[in-house]
């Protein structure tokens, strides 16, 4: 990637353990919080698992069973047959577009590419009987296709699988597509959830932590601990992003990919020489020296061998060009949320972008002492255990590295830099101006939630943010059936009106549901036998009550059931 043609990250969205959004993740990283724990009773119930099973510790995400299918104009039946990975990606990509200030309607029919990290889908195992909708809903090759179709994105669509490095390799291909001019924008995303997190017998390849307590680079490192996440980023060439007035969260200076090939002991073993080479390749493409790096987000698998080899690779990479440099801080988000497998690279990317945005190098979640296999006293890197101020805006942009190494032997490294300073004329508030602040949702509860969310977010804004807030909420959001628009001149005015609106919506009586009745008709040309109806009645008491009413009506009309089929009409009213 040419130094003069960096790629801008103009949107980010994600869901992580103990962090339903990017802002929550930032707070957790600042606190060096570890979200690896036992599975909750709520998660077991939500995902219809047995309370009697033995489950491993992990970074679990709550609420993966929930999905607003009406927002995406999907039938309930189709949504129920979709793997939660597909559902969560739809919602996270929707949030991504809003984070970037583009509504889904604005994105529709655009030349936007979609790259998704591959994930094996097993949701169909919950099905009690075959349904043709399960095919698309549980096919990993449809992970990207569902997004392109749902949002009507007409660029290339691909699923990338290199095991743990999948999402960062997907980012590499997306950046190359943008540089070649084959797309205007690119979405890179992935999700990783474990629908059956059972602790079962011997552990394959002995890479998982037996006690579920792994601290990378520490003497307590004894294997991987898994985590869950759904992450998405929106990319655009920096030059175009500046011209379009996009909110740039960070820039990608370069990406590089290589493979261990014959250098590693086996197909799945890591190799320090190959890792050093991919780091140096990325640094050359970015036009930086190792001394320019203020931080490296490490792969940090948590295995003693893997961590030792990674530090060895970092030592080789730094020593080749800057043997006298001072040690560079490293850490890994895997210590906070677990190893999110196919999406691990994107989770690290979000962490680095947040660090650049908030001008801080996050403290590592790190306990114990250094691994006995790693000599940090002589290393080119060290694990930073305290937050480090990282002010931006200087003559030289702040730069960080990000590594992701795959179980397949495919390695990736990315160089990121801080976003360019905004132009001098940007966001200059007009004291005499009044700004429209529209709120919209497709149901009343959503309107209240959006109003409360904006009210909670106001302390993070300044008066200079009002013009952008008005623009984003006015043109960067789809408009739904429930709407309110506030006309304000300053933040305090907005706070008062939002507080009043929240009280008003909270006190509003819920709209009564009409007491409608659904009429179900079963005709003799349908392959529905009375025995099936009786089985439904045994399983669902409400259906049994309706079925009994229908039987009474059938007798009243003088109809006789046949041996296999019947003409049956029943009234299904509300209890």
- Residue 46 tokens read as 């939500």
Buried b (16+ CB within 10 A) or exposed e, 531-564: eebeeebeeeeebeebbeebbeebeeeeeeeeee
Catalytic residue among 26, 172, 339, 413: 339
* Cα–Cα distances in angstroms (integers) from residue 411 to residues 184, 223, 231, 547, in the given order: 27, 20, 20, 61
Partners of 415 in beta bridges = 254, 401
Q: Torsion angle, CA of 457/462/465/466, rounded to 10 degrees? A: 80
Are the C-beta atoms of residues 333 and 30 closer than 8 Å to each other? no
Strand 250-259 relative to strand 482-488, pairing: unpaired
Q: Would you say the C-alpha torsion 84, 89, 90, 94 has a positive or negative sign?
A: positive
Q: Nearest CA to 291 among 399, 416, 386, 391?
A: 399
d(CA 202, CA 208): 10
d(CA 429, CA 120): 50
Residues constituting the chain: 575
Partners of 399 in beta bridges = 293, 417
Q: Reduce the DSSP state of residue 200 to 3 states and report it.
A: coil
Half-sphere exposure of 55 (CA within 13 A, CB side): 22
* Residues whose CB falls within 8 Å of the CB of residue 159, separated by 6 or more in sequence, listed in order: 115, 116, 117, 118, 140, 141, 143, 144
Known catalytic membership, residue 164:
yes
Catalytic residue among 81, 164, 189, 412: 164
Catalytic residue among 26, 172, 299, 413: 299
d(CA 562, CA 575): 30
Partners of 435 in beta bridges = 488
Are the C-beta atoms of residues 325 and 296 closer than 8 Å to each other? no
Give the sheet arrangement for strand 157-160, strand by strand.
157-160, 112-117, 185-192, 229-237, 7-15, 250-259, 410-417, 399-405, 293-297, 328-331, 381-383
Backbone torsions φ then ψ of 358, nearest 5 degrees: -95, 5
| Range list of H helices, 424-540 | 444-457, 466-475, 491-507, 530-539
- Tokens 């003088």 correspond to 558
Q: Transcribe 224-245 into DSSP letters.
A: B-BB-EEEEEEEEEHHHHHHHT
Q: What is the DSSP letter of 308?
A: H
Which amino acids are annotated catalytic? 164, 299, 339
């Amino acid at each position: 990637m040419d130094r003069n043609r960096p790629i801008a990250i103009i949107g980010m969205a994600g869901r992580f353990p103990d962090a339903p959004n990017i802002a929550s993740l930032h707070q957790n990283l600042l606190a060096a919080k570890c979200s690896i724990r036992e599975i909750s009773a709520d998660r077991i119930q939500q995902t219809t698992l047995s309370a009697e099973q033995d489950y491993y510790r992990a970074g679990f995400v709550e609420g993966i069973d929930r999905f607003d299918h009406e927002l995406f104009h999907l039938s309930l039946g189709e949504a129920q047959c979709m793997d939660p990975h597909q559902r969560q990606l739809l919602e996270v990509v929707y949030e991504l577009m809003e984070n970037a200030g583009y509504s889904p309607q604005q994105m529709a029919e655009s030349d936007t590419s979609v790259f998704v990290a591959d994930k094996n889908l097993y949701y169909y195992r919950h099905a009690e009987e075959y349904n043709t909708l399960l095919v698309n809903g549980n096919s990993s090759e449809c992970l990207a296709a569902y997004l392109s179709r749902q949002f009507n994105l007409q660029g290339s669509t691909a699923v990338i699988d290199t095991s743990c490095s999948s999402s960062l390799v997907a980012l590499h291909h997306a950046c190359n597509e943008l540089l070649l001019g084959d797309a205007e924008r690119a979405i890179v995303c992935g999700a990783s959830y474990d629908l059956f997190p059972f602790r079962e017998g011997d552990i394959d390849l002995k890479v998982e932590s037996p006690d579920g307590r792994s601290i990378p680079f520490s003497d307590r490192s004894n294997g991987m601990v898994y985590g869950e996440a759904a992450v998405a980023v929106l990319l655009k060439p920096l030059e175009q992003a500046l011209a379009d007035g996009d909110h740039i969260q960070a820039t990608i200076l370069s990406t590089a990919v290589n493979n261990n090939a014959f250098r590693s002991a086996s197909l799945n073993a890591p190799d320090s020489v190959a890792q050093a080479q991919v780091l140096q390749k990325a640094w050359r493409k970015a036009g930086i020296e190792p001394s320019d790096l203020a931080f490296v987000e490490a792969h940090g698998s948590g295995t003693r061998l893997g961590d030792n080899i990674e530090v060895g690779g970092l030592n080789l990479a730094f020593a080749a060009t800057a043997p006298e440099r001072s040690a560079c801080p490293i850490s890994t988000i895997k210590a906070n949320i677990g190893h999110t497998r196919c999406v691990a690279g994107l989770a690290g990317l979000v962490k680095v972008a947040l660090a650049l945005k908030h001008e801080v190098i996050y403290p590592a979640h790190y306990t114990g002492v250094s691994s006995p296999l790693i000599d940090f006293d002589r290393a080119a890197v060290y694990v930073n255990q305290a937050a480090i101020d990282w002010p931006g805006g200087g003559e030289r942009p702040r730069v960080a590295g990000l590594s992701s190494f795959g179980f397949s032997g495919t390695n990736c490294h990315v160089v990121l830099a801080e976003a360019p300073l905004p132009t001098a004329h940007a966001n200059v508030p007009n004291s005499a101006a009044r700004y429209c602040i529209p709120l919209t949702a497709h149901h009343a509860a959503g309107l209240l939630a959006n109003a409360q969310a904006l009210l909670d977010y106001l302390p993070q804004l300044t008066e200079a943010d009002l013009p952008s807030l008005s623009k984003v909420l006015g043109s960067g959001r789809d408009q739904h059936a429930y709407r309110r628009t506030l006309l304000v001149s300053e933040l305090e005015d907005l706070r008062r009106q939002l507080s009043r609106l929240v009280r008003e919506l909270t006190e509003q009586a819920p709209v009564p549901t009409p007491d409608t009745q659904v009429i179900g008709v079963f005709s003799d040309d349908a392959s529905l036998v009375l025995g099936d109806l009786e089985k439904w009645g045994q399983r669902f008491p409400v259906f049994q009550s309706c079925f009994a009413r229908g039987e009474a009506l059938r007798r009243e009309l003088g109809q006789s059931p046949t041996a296999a089929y019947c003409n049956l009409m029943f009234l299904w009213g509300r209890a």
